[in-house]
Structure 1
Amino acid sequence: MIETYYIGAYWGARKEDAQACARRIATLVQLLQPVDLLFASWFKGAKSLKQSLTRPLELEFSSLQEYVQRNLMRDDRRQPMEDLGFSISLWNGQQGGNHAFLRIACGGYWEQVSNSCVLIAPDEGPGAERVLTTDFQVQALRALATAWDPDWEVAMSHAHRDIIEKKCPDVLVGWITYLSRRLGRVPPLPAPVRIESVGDKGSLIILTPERFTASNPEHVALAERVRELLDRAGLLRKPAPAQ
């Protein structure tokens, strides 16, 4: 069975209007473009991928802001729910196993809301060998961290998430994990773990230079050891909502 992967950035309640969210989306798209040809262009979500191809994402700011505003969350009566923010879906428009998607929930400020940006890139097909490398994952995580300033991020497989989810109720530790400085300072970690800073925003924790797989007991044991050390340092708890 093929082990499937995803990259997710997560942050708590943060009140941001359509203008602020549009600015962050534009930054993300621009930062992802040099990472890989998979991210050369994006299309707005639609009822079908064929329909989506007729709706290219425009980075002209007023158009992008208008698009974000149209995606404000609404209730069953189509009444706006501003405290839940905006929900946006983007597709890279590529076929033949080169699909990539962005699922974005941003601008929500209800105290129980969870904002996020999830990147799904190919697990098989022509683009997979490039995607499933540490270098690609690190670059993508850096782009998300810079654009969204999340509390935490993770690049991991769904199989590994299924193993550890009950142990990590707030913050997951995967192949590569990003922790904002708001969560605290990352302690020394055992080899071969590598720590890289992301400007003044936070740190990337890279467990293995090769692809991390949940079927490798050594990988899973290393992840658990790192999780224990980070938890002991108090870094795996979501920060309190901003006042």
Structure 2
Amino acid sequence: MKETYYVGAYWLARRETAEECAHRAEAFFSLLASCDSSLAHWFKKDRTLKKALQHRLEADAASLAKLFHQQAQKEGRFATDGFSLRGWNGVTHEAASSMSLRCGDASASLSNLCLFDPPAEGPAEERVLQALVLARILRAMAVAFEPEWGIATSHELRELVVPESAEGGTFIGWLTYFSHRRGPLPPLPSPVRTEPVEDKGTLVILSPERFTASNPAHVALARDVSERLAQAGLLTPLRPWNN
């Protein structure tokens, strides 16, 4: 069975205004456009393909702030509810990608997030599902949104490396981002590589080759790294941002 991948960044209980979320989203879309040619333009999702293609997503801060304000007014949101956005890159074949965002939510039980679903087939999949490109995408999320934790991995690998006791906590993936606020990383075995993300955190890359649940060596490495990080206190649940 073919594995499916995703990239996600998560943070908890950080209230922000429509303008603050819009500036973060603008930065993210700008950085995302440099990751692959198929990620330069986005459309708002709609009920039909025809309607969706008529709604180009203007990714500048002013337009996004206006969109967030309209959303809050239409849905009767409270100031602590945050804002959401769903987008699609306008491609109807194998290069299709999608993203979703929740930003500015002050809840301590529902995380803010930025999710990216990469292409599932064809040349676009081969271009994007590489450690170098996924690292750029996860780095874009980290720089724009300053999450506490982020990950790029397959759903199938997650099921194999996340212990039942870790429910509600964080976990390791092919690529994993840790904010500095979670604490220092322990020494990690070869071929694991770490990269700083500005002054915000660290990106952990388990392998330069595509990491799969079907490769026993990959699963063993992921479990080894997971144990080391858990012992160092890095795989705890997300904490409210002001803690």
Q: TM-score when scaled to structure 1?
A: 0.94
Identity rate of aligned residues, in percent?
A: 43
Task: Report the AA paired with residue 98 of structure 2.
Answer: F
Task: Report the AA paired with residue 11 of structure 2.
Answer: W
Structure 2 match to 1:89? 86
Structure 2 match to 1:237? 236
Task: Report the AA paired with residue 10 of structure 1.
Answer: Y
RMSD of the alignment, in Å?
1.6
| Per-residue deviation, 1:161 | 1.6
In terms of mean alpha carbon deviation, does 49-58 or 15-24 score higher? 49-58
Give yes or no for the alignment of 1:143 onto 2:140: yes
Indicate conservation of the 8 Å contact 2:28/2:141, yes or no: yes
Structure 1 match to 2:35? 35
Ranges in structure 2 where 5+ consecutive residues have no aligned partner: none
Indicate conservation of the 8 Å contact 1:102/1:117, yes or no: yes
Larger relative contact order (Cα-Cα within 8 Å, sequence gap ≥ 6): 2
In terms of mean alpha carbon deviation, does 57-66 or 28-37 score higher? 57-66
- After superposition, residues 40-51 of structure 1 pair within 5 angstroms as 40-51=40-51
**1:42-83 per-position Cα deviation (integer Å, ceiling 9, x unaligned):** 111222232111111113432221112233498xxx432432
Structure 1 match to 2:76? 79
Structure 2 match to 1:61? 61
3-state SS, counterpart of residue 147 of structure 1: helix
Ranges in structure 1 where 5+ consecutive residues have no aligned partner: none
Q: What is the number of equivalent residue pairs in this alignment?
A: 240
In terms of mean alpha carbon deviation, does 136-145 or 83-92 score higher? 83-92
Structure 2 match to 1:104? 101
Task: Report the AA paired with residue 190 of structure 1.
Answer: P
Structure 2 CA distance for aligned equivalents of residues 182 and 238 of structure 1: 13
Structure 2 CA distance for aligned equivalents of residues 32 and 204 of structure 1: 17
Structure 2 CA distance for aligned equivalents of residues 62 and 31 of structure 1: 17
Structure 1 match to 2:149? 152
Give yes or no for the alignment of 1:196 onto 2:195: yes
Task: Report the AA paired with residue 64 of structure 2.
Answer: L
Indicate conservation of the 8 Å contact 2:25/2:61, yes or no: no
3-state SS, counterpart of residue 126 of structure 1: helix
